[in-house]
Amino acid sequence: MQPIIITTLEEYYPEHAQPKVADKNDLKASVEAAGLSDMWNMILTFDYGVTSPDELSPEKRDEFLNVMSLLLKAFDR
Amino acid sequence: MLTRPEKFFTEIGTDAIDRGLADPMLSEFFSAVMSSQTGTQALRLKSFLPYLSLCSDRVTDDGPPPIFYVGSQSSQRDLFGEGWAAPATVSKALTTPDPELEHAAADGYRSALNGKPYYGYARTPVSIDGNLVEVAFERLIVAIRPSVQSDYRFCAYFGVIQDLQKKT
């Protein structure tokens, strides 16, 4: 992996302030608002075998929510 | 002495799948999708999802649509690694890590989004974390509408790595 080189103070982002996995309810609302609920349901049920992220372990839930964050970015919605 | 070009992407066409020339699992996936009606194809994805990468319908002049899902046994996860396929945090859209590969791969997605499933073969050098490898793979790309009511489609990519060698 290439090292990240910071040259100005404005570029510095403290590690403790790094973005965390998005909140589940906010993310679900964003996916619904974007009209992408079909993808939320398909991936959750087909891949993770559950109907709600609450049924997943914390690690799997974060993984799923990251997929949904990527979904929103992929459709630019 | 035989020589071959260092990089090529060629469309073989889905007739080759019908003639039994493609990877068996890829063929099974193609049959499942093509035998389903538009709007119900997504229902057939369950058993194939581990082998697929999924991306949006936002193809650009510079590259294929961004990826949002990389199956646990997909060729892209094998090639680019877990850290790429499942980033711990999401700050930008996911694309393959080699810009040249992105550019060269885009036509297949355009074809699929224009209604013609794309089946082709490619051999190309790929830069992964500064290491150069040469990879040969067959790939099928189909555009799927999640349901009849959906106003968007997604692309399902089924890749099969045929050869992978480190370049010195």
- In the block, which residue shows the tokens 């051999």? B123
| Residue B8 touches chain A, beta carbons under 8 Å | no
Q: Using 50, 70 and 90 to split pLDDT, how confident is the model at A18?
A: very low
| Chain A residues touching B69 at Cβ < 8 A | 43, 47, 67, 70-71
Q: Please indicate whether, in this complex, the C-beta atoms of A35 and B151 are within 8 angstroms of each other.
A: yes
pTM for the whole thing? 0.86
Q: How much is the ipTM here? A: 0.90
| Chain A residues touching B68 at Cβ < 8 A | 39, 67, 70-71, 73-75
CA distance B63 to chain A (A): 13
Determine the pLDDT at residue B5.
60
| Residue B152 touches chain A, beta carbons under 8 Å | yes
| Residue B55 touches chain A, beta carbons under 8 Å | yes
**Strand runs labelled E in B64-144:** 67-70, 118-128, 131-144
Name the residue among A22, A38, A76 with its Cβ closest to that of B146.
A38
**Rounded (5°) CA angle A43-A48-A50:** 100
- The answer on pLDDT for A6 being more than 80 is no
Determine the pLDDT at residue A24.
81
Determine the pLDDT at residue B98.
82
CA distance A14 to chain B (A): 15
The CATH number given to B8-166 is 3.30.450.20
| From B14-28, B57-71, B93-107, the region with the lowest mean pLDDT | B93-107
- The answer on pLDDT for A19 being more than 60 is no
The DSSP letter of residue A17 is: G
Mean pLDDT of B71-98: 92
Whether A70 contacts B93, CB under 8 Å: yes
Q: Could you tell me the two tokens for B121?
A: 């073969």
Q: Using 50, 70 and 90 to split pLDDT, how confident is the model at B62?
A: confident
User: Across chain B, what does the average pLDDT equal?
Assistant: 91
Determine the pLDDT at residue B60.
85
CA distance A15 to chain B (A): 12
Name the residue among A2, A63, A74 with its Cβ closest to that of B68.
A74
A15-21: long-range pairs with CB below 8 Å, 24+: A18/B89, A19/B89, A19/B90, A19/B91, A20/B89, A21/A62, A21/A65, A21/A66, A21/A69, A21/B89
Mean pLDDT of B100-117: 91
Model confidence over A26-70: pLDDT tens digits?
A: 999 999 999 999 999 999 999 999 999 999 999 999 999 999 999
How far apart (Å, rounded) are the C-alpha atoms in residues A26 and B10? Answer: 43
Give just the sign of the alpha carbon dihedral A17, A22, A24, A30. positive
- Between residues A61 and A3, which one has the greater pLDDT? A61
Q: Could you tell me the two tokens for B153?
A: 């489609």
How far apart (Å, rounded) are the C-alpha atoms in residues B108 and B158? Answer: 12
Whether A48 contacts A54, CB under 8 Å: no
Model confidence over B4-47: pLDDT tens digits?
A: 567 888 999 999 999 999 999 999 999 999 998 877 888 889 99
- The answer on pLDDT for B67 being more than 90 is yes
Angstrom distances, CA of residue A65 to CA of A56, B36, B68, B130: 11, 29, 11, 29
| Residue B88 touches chain A, beta carbons under 8 Å | yes
Q: Three-state DSSP class for B16? A: helix
Determine the pLDDT at residue B8.
84
Determine the pLDDT at residue B37.
82
